[in-house]
Structure 1
Amino acid sequence: MNSILKYLVSAFSSRCFISETSSLCFYSILSSSLKLIKLLLIIIGLLFLVPRGLYAQQSPYVSYIDSINEDEEGGKISFPSFIFAEQVMKEIYVIDSKARIIIYTSDFFPVFTLSKRNGIEAPLGLTVDAEGNMYVAQAPTKENPRYRISVFNARLQWEHDIYLKRSEIDESFIPSRLAVDKKGNLYIAGSYFSGVLVLDSKGQLLETISPEEEDRKAKVNNVTLDDTGRIYIVSEEEGRIYVYDENRKFLFKFGEKGGSTGKLSRPLAIGIDNSTGRMYVVDYMRHTISVYDKDGKYLSEFGGLGWGEGWFQYPRDLTVDSTGRILIADTFNNRIQVFQAKE
């Protein structure tokens, strides 16, 4: 039964969070279906998780400090799928299944929500540059039937949309994860495409970074930059992370595909602690966070399937803020869990 349930959750998440070309599936079917899956997960948890003990798997490199589960109006956040820690204003951005972006202070106080009235219709991921401009990857809607990158100024006012030229990329490419470097170049990943697109500040395609294995190009699903400009590209399919320097030259890769300790089953995102160089990778199917040193050496992992403090249920994203706090989108527990990195 566990294998069947994992298959259903995997298939659903891949189709409705990433691959679906209609916002109807993305948001209307999303809420009721996720609630049903969560109920099934709780039932399975009651049957099989109790003997595992009261405490989640611990790591010597982090400690649990808090959880975020409320929005600006005091309601509950719903199946958060994306989180981003902005480094200048120290704000935290969360995307949940209600098609909105909730902005929190560094003290986890919700201060503002962007929704349809602000030009946010179907957000998938975002990034913020050094000037405070926000770039949001959005799925198609009835009003806007194409995938696009919406650009907002530092006052969170919509400026314009960037549409990718289908003549330059594969028709199947769905932009969902973004990063921006110090020069204003935009990095776009998504939908298991064989590479990360690099656009200049005017939205013109500069190049495609395509990680390679021995006999093929790796399909990737996420991209992150650290404060030195290093580029980290995640491949869920390969169970690997590919690292490039600020000039987009390949440095090294790490990670091994698998379902046991020290391996990556379905890695979806990576966060980098700029003070220590440690890297944290969220594994959606193993419900864990794997910890690596700056050279990609595996150190430990924490978490596990459950609903208490330190447990996760199908986490989809994470980020590391300027103080070394690791914030994890614990999707099926309807919360953001916060951990503090240790020296």
Structure 2
Amino acid sequence: MIETLLQPFEYGYMVNAIFISALVGGVCAFLSAYLMLKGWSLIGDALSHSIVPGVAGAYMLGLPFALGAFFSGGLAATTMLFLSQRSKLKEDAIIGLIFTSFFGLGLFMISLSPTSVNIQTIVLGNILAITPEDTLQLLLISGISLAVLVLKWRDLMVVFFDENHARSIGLNPNALKILFFTLLSASTVAALQTVGAFLVIAMVVTPGATAYQLSDRFGIVVILSVAIGAITSFVGAYLSFFIDGATGGIIVVLQACVFVLTFVFAPKHGYLAARHRAKRFSAPSLKTTSKKISPSMLEQKSKNISVDTGVPNDQFI
């Protein structure tokens, strides 16, 4: 039994896939907490689809896919930030515009040279077949992103909470936003190899959404989000050896299951806890109120005291 459970660790490619998935999942989950805090979950979706033309272009030119994806994602993030500051469009309109434009461009580029572009790798990812060069790229991207987040997490938190307060204490909100979008683009590129372009949105949204069900303190939310992202990615890659299914799909399904469990059973914000509070404060409160103030008391009070002035009614008249 134990030998069977340890079997995935006997293969180098599985060990590589398991630990790379956990690292990438943890970094994406770190960013997920900020996306939930700001309500920018759709930005993750836009970036995950905006990197498609960069990946297609890199494949067509024979360049590393990470280089093209990072360039395309950074361009999309910069364009969204520019339009949000220089136009009257709302954020959802800007996100929809960038998402469709970049994704349409990517599909057009793929149609021009379908043989040179591995569409399945872009859509589904292939963490089990990454080369040593790709592994080094993912380690560098994830390691640098994680280090920057650890150093700047407080500054980013202040900017995401209140930009005016951030300026008053000497922070530069625009520079920190650019830094965040750069890290998000880099992490999206890393997650592309793990779960594919279509499922990257789950990696940068679900862990943070799950953590917000469990705590109201942002520091705790970050820790929980990273733990959820890393553990589910680790377990998902591990289970893919036995299930023989798409690694990205298994990881996302696991994260969705954890979210459902927390949504139902979270001690403070869960569905069952909310129903319990509603039952506890509905009927008993009515009974207590009826015992403390009877109709006869209200009638006597209305005869003697004016509601607005407190002057006896006979004097008021």
**TM bucket by the smaller chain?**
under 0.3
Q: Comparing both chains, which one has the higher relative contact order based on Cα–Cα distances under 8 Å and sequence gaps of 6 or more?
A: 2
Which has the higher Rg, Structure 1 or Structure 2? 2
TM-score, normalised to structure 2, is: 0.25
What is the TM-score normalised by the length of structure 1? 0.24
